[in-house]
Amino acid sequence: TQVVTVTGEAPVVNTTTSSLGGLVNDQQIAELPLNGRNYTDLTLLQPGITATTHSGLGDAGIWYSSNGASPRSNNYMIDGALMVTQNGTGPAGMTGNTLGVDGIKEYKVITSMFSAEYGLLMGSQMIIVSKGGSNHWHGSAFEFLRNNHLDARNFFDPQPSLANKILVDASGNLERLPQFKRNNFGGSFGGPIQKDKTFFWLVYEGLRLSQGDTIQDTTMPAACHYLTNGTNNIIVGGGPVPSTITPPAGFTQQTVQTPLTGYSLAAAGCGTAPAGTPVASIVTPWIGQFPFSNETGVVGSNYTFPGFTHARDDYAQLRIDHNFSENDTFFTRYTFDDARVTTPYLGGNLSTSDTGTGYPQFSNIGTSRNQYITLGENHV
């Protein structure tokens, strides 16, 4: 006779360890929604975790604070080995993505009171276990696509005539929305090299992003470009002259690469400087770097143009397991992530989601390459 007894008693308190945290297994990784396939986002499911974001060289991706500790106080380990960047931050690439979901078996986040087997940092411990092969062949392939043709227009998006002057379709019509094309693709494959002895698991994941960013900045008034020395009347640079601006008669536009001596403002309206104000020769080449204002109906001299953010991220991981005997096993794992981001922003902004100020002749480029290799033997 078999008897099954079900009780509603509370579970026994864990008296063997004082650490707090939670485990995210492969089923949760596979089934929970992940925007961008960043498995570190699942860390935010744990109590006491608060998200924060950073952008810049070595600081990309999602950071988090564990129970109020500094976001730089979190340690990342995979298969018992460190998995941090040269700045001591999380394993994300320059694009801000932590790829490789198909290569992760599970991970555990210990938020506080961890034991002496962990160390280095005081905030939390993120312990990752990579996925290995087996006696059966398994594989997967995927592609996720998102682009502006599938999106609704944001209320704050500029009109196509302003934001997308260079974005046209095959018929020459203006695009309805700023450009956004994101492709996330890859696959995994693994199985036995030698049955019951040697196995492998290979993962590749790629990301391609092309995003239109409407840049708005303050530029100099048009009168700052009109210079004269009494004989020569010139328009110093400024790029194409918008139809809303009418230069003085008798002025010719030219690019100035060397300082001009003896020139003064030919017209009033360059800030508070009246016509006839001398212009320092050393600044004359810089005047032409500022474009003419091309926005109408606004106060001040504003300039806008459709900038572009481009991002590329390639991730790969290979794990090989070998069983020498029942009491002696060995594995090696190599993880590689290479990323590059180009943004139209000034001031070192390398985020792929934020906007900022900029001019067409300037851009920011950020690259990253993270590599990790681990060899381990378990002998009983």
| Angstrom distances, CA of residue 111 to CA of 69, 122, 262, 298 | 10, 9, 68, 51
Q: If you average pLDDT over every residue of the chain, what do you get?
A: 84
pLDDT band (50, 70, 90) for residue 8: confident
Q: What phi, psi does 25 have (nearest 5°)?
A: -90, 180
As a whole number of angstroms, the distance between CA 72 and CA 44 comes to 16
Evaluate if residue 108 carries a pLDDT over 80: yes
CB 134 within 8 A of CB 199: yes
Tell me the residue ranges of DSSP E strands in 282-363: 302-325, 328-343
As a whole number of angstroms, the distance between CA 336 and CA 314 comes to 8
Neighbours of 358 (CB within 10 A): 22
Evaluate if residue 340 carries a pLDDT over 60: yes
Evaluate if residue 355 carries a pLDDT over 90: no
Strands 264-265 and 252-254: unpaired
Neighbours of 371 (CB within 10 A): 9
Evaluate if residue 348 carries a pLDDT over 90: no
- Does the pTM surpass 0.75? The reply is yes
Per-residue tokens: 183: 């492709």
As a whole number of angstroms, the distance between CA 9 and CA 11 comes to 6
302 burial (CB, 10 Å; 0-12 / 13-18 / 19+) is middle
